[in-house]
Structure 1
Amino acid sequence: MHMRWWKVAGLAAFAGVAATGVVIVRAERRRRAYSPDEVRTRLRERHAEALAPRR
């Protein structure tokens, strides 16, 4: 019975690592979908928002 818990914990850890990898790949694919001009525009917009005074 003791070994069974280790197997379950190992499988859960493996599933967590795999799920994290999937999330990272999706985010990378989404990021690469932008052209350099779109990235530049988005960065400038975010910079302007960060500098804008908050109300």
Structure 2
Amino acid sequence: MRAWKLLGLAGILAGVATGAAVARDERVRRHYDAGEIRERLHKRHDEAVARETPTAPGDQG
């Protein structure tokens, strides 16, 4: 019976820790205004496209 109590306590602690992490991330995310988020997304998109664009064999340099 004691094992079940410990397992339940571990589950509760995991839930609390997850909730705290989500709340922290939400506070950080809400710190940006819409313009900053848009700029960051465009920058990340441009970087991703640049990584996926293959270069021609003679273009290294």
Report the TM-score, using the length of structure 1 for normalisation: 0.88
Runs of 4+ in 1 over 4 A off after TM superposition: none
**Where does structure 1 lack aligned partners over 5 or more consecutive residues?**
none
User: Superposed, which structure 2 residues align to 1:33-48 within 5 Å?
Assistant: 33-48=31-46
**Where does structure 2 lack aligned partners over 5 or more consecutive residues?**
56-61
User: Superposed, which structure 2 residues align to 1:1-55 within 5 Å?
Assistant: 3-53=1-51
Larger radius of gyration: 2
Superposed CA RMSD: 1.4
Deviation of 1:53 after TM superposition, in Å, equals: 3.2
Report the TM-score, using the length of structure 2 for normalisation: 0.80
Deviation of 1:33 after TM superposition, in Å, equals: 0.2
Q: Deviations over 1:14-49 (max 9, x none)?
A: 000110011011111100000111001000000000
Equivalent pairs counted in the alignment come to 53
Cα distance in structure 2, aligned partners of 1:5 and 1:53: 51
